[in-house]
A = this chain, B = another copy of it.
Amino acid sequence: MTFEARPIGHVESALVDRADAPKQADEGAPDAWLVLDPALAPAAADIAVGDELVVVTWLHDADRSVLVVHPRGDPSWPPTGVFSTRSPARPNPVGLHTVRVLGRDGTRIHVDALEAIDGTPVIDLKRALAPRPEER
């Protein structure tokens, strides 16, 4: 049993080289555009400036056979099972990115700090939830 994920759009970013991409958004990621499929415009119609969204990407260049990594690609960290990390290398290379909407132009959505490189496929957008009560 497998499932077919279809891109809803892609990332347009000044980040083009994976080596330059920060590991997390709060480490200097640039603003970027989410370029959505115009056929999906009704699904994006209520996205407004200031909204906080979770962007779900498919990191299509990742190595899906990797089960253990050195976190952050740093060999001084002990090898760690990928399900305890945010490494792109994992059986299903799903990326999660929380962003704030800065603006929009039709189905092009301008967002703040996004650590995904130019061309990364986007498979979903969701309203971000507040942290769980015990973490507020």
Binding site for B on A (CB under 8 A): 1-8, 24-26, 40, 42-47, 51, 53-54, 56, 58, 60, 67-68, 80-86, 90-92, 94, 96, 98, 121, 123-127, 129, 131-133, 135
Copies in the complex: 2
B43 adjacent to A67 (CB under 8 Å): yes
A131 to B136, CA, bound (A): 9
The residues of B that contact A60 with a CB separation of less than 8 Å are 3
The residues of B that contact A44 with a CB separation of less than 8 Å are 81, 83-84
B92 adjacent to A43 (CB under 8 Å): no
Given A6-B92, A26-B132, A83-B53: A121 touches B46 (CB 8 Å cut-off): no
